[in-house]
């Protein structure tokens, strides 16, 4: 869920519901209101924080669309953007596919210098025999002076009803991202809550993780990739009485000595269903 911070709550929600649709049949169609708040520390700065508000709607159990708005502040930078995403599933009971897409458009200010924020992605997830899932995705990043395409491949396996493991790899193929990230994730489904944890490693552009401040770029037009070490963990607790879910996630990443620690609370309220 937080391995790439997932750039926005809308992206995280899209991945969550696409995967849920792939691993389980008969999901109830409903509307969801999603709210998140977060706080961060960043080496050599006073850190920052932000929040988001989103809405997701199922036209049917296999069709999802969502919109969201998010605002973030980190050190001397701040940015705001809107998001639009959607997914569609098709196929047989034992061989199901989900195609999805997302669009994030907005802008911000870095130490009084305005910049644009544009990220688009599209992908497909195939799930076979309810256990093995394969994902292919291409993401286009245009943030400040950083730009390029970042394809991703991932494999997930459901080891019975209580454990899901995922391994992924991202490798930029254009622009100046210079990113090659390998990641793993574990989801443990207990009786009353879900636990998740993961890690990522490899050279990565700071813009992939929403780190673009004057303390990082130091006046450079293009910020080179830095060696990434990231670990995260969290828990999701459903509250059936209130038709809602609360997720608490902690994330720590180090980009060649620039460290960021963050804590995020996300609340999803189901309308109907």
Confidence of residue 215 (pLDDT cuts 50, 70, 90): low
Considering 54-63, 95-104, 223-232, the range whose residues carry the highest mean pLDDT is: 95-104
pLDDT value at position 2?
A: 34
Whether 236 has a pLDDT exceeding 80, the answer reads yes
Choose the weakest-confidence range: 17-21, 101-105, 178-182.
Answer: 17-21
As a whole number of angstroms, the distance between CA 117 and CA 138 comes to: 17
DSSP annotation of 221 reads S
Per-residue pLDDT tens for 137-162? Answer: 999 999 888 899 999 999 999 999 99
pLDDT value at position 5?
A: 40
pLDDT value at position 23?
A: 39
Helix, strand or coil, per DSSP, at residue 94: coil
Measured in residues, the chain has a length of 273
Per-residue pLDDT tens for 216-226? Answer: 665 555 678 89
Per-residue pLDDT tens for 7-31? Answer: 344 444 444 444 444 434 444 567 9
Choose the weakest-confidence range: 57-71, 94-108, 131-145, 208-222.
Answer: 208-222
Structural domain that includes position 129: 9-271
**E strand or H helix at 194, and its extent?**
strand 194-204
CATH of the domain at 110: 2.40.160.40
pLDDT value at position 49?
A: 96
DSSP annotation of 169 reads E
- Share the mean pLDDT of the chain: 87
The CB density around residue 116, as the number of other CB atoms within 10 Å, is 14
Whether 190 has a pLDDT exceeding 90, the answer reads yes
Cα Rg of the chain (Å, integer) = 18
Q: What is the mean pLDDT of residues 176-192?
A: 95
For the chain, the domain total comes to 1
Whether 211 has a pLDDT exceeding 90, the answer reads no
Q: With respect to residue 3, please indicate whether it lies within any of the assigned structural domains.
A: no
Q: With respect to residue 131, please indicate whether it lies within any of the assigned structural domains.
A: yes
| 232 φψ region: left (φ > 0), alpha (ψ -120 to 50), beta (else) | beta
DSSP annotation of 28 reads P
As a whole number of angstroms, the distance between CA 77 and CA 48 comes to: 9
CB burial string 179-194: b at 16+ within 10 A, e below: bbbebebebeeeeeeb
User: Which pTM does this prediction carry?
Assistant: 0.85
Q: What is the mean pLDDT of residues 164-170?
A: 97
pLDDT value at position 207?
A: 83
Considering 51-60, 179-188, 204-213, 234-243, the range whose residues carry the highest mean pLDDT is: 179-188
Do 80 and 105 contact (CB within 8 A), yes or no? no
The CB density around residue 151, as the number of other CB atoms within 10 Å, is 15
Q: With respect to residue 90, please indicate whether it lies within any of the assigned structural domains.
A: yes
pLDDT value at position 36?
A: 97
List, in sequence order, every residue forming a beta bridge with 228; answer none if it has no partner. Answer: 202, 255
For the chain, what percent of residues have pLDDT higher than 70?
85
Whether 272 has a pLDDT exceeding 80, the answer reads no
Q: What is the mean pLDDT of residues 239-252?
A: 94
pLDDT value at position 113?
A: 84
Q: With respect to residue 2, please indicate whether it lies within any of the assigned structural domains.
A: no
Whether 58 has a pLDDT exceeding 80, the answer reads yes
Work out the angle at residue 118's Cα, subtended by the Cα atoms of residues 269 and 43, and round it to the nearest 5 degrees: 80
pLDDT value at position 220?
A: 53
DSSP annotation of 27 reads P
Q: With respect to residue 4, please indicate whether it lies within any of the assigned structural domains.
A: no
Nearest to 199 by CA among 173, 181, 212, 215: 181
């Amino acid at each position: 869920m937080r391995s790439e911070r997932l750039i926005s709550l809308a992206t995280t929600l899209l991945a969550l519901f696409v995967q849920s649709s792939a691993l389980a049949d008969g999901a109830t169609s409903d509307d969801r209101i999603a709210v998140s708040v977060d706080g961060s520390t960043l080496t050599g700065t006073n850190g920052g924080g932000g929040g988001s508000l989103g809405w997701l709607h199922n036209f049917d159990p296999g069709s999802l669309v969502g919109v969201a708005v998010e605002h973030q502040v980190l050190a001397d930078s701040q940015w705001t953007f809107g998001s639009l995403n959607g997914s569609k599933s098709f196929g047989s009971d034992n061989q199901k596919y989900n195609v999805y897409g997302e669009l994030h458009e907005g802008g911000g200010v870095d130490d009084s210098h305005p910049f644009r924020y544009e990220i688009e992605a599209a992908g497909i997830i195939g799930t076979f025999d309810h256990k093995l899932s394969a994902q292919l995705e291409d993401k286009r990043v245009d943030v400040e002076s950083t730009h390029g395409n970042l394809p991703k491949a991932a494999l997930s396996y459901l080891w019975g009803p209580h454990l899901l493991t995922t391994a992924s790899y991202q490798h930029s193929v254009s622009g100046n991202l210079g990113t090659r990230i390998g990641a793993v994730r574990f989801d443990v489904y207990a009786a009353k809550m879900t636990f998740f944890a993961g890690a990522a490693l490899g050279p990565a552009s700071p813009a992939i993780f929403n780190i673009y401040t004057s303390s990082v770029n130091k006046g450079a037009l293009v910020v080179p990739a830095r060696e990434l070490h990231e670990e995260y963990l969290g828990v999701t607790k459903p509250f059936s009485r209130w038709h809602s879910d609360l997720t608490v996630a902690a994330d720590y990443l180090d980009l060649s000595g620039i460290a960021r620690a963050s804590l995020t609370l996300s609340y999803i309220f189901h309308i109907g269903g």
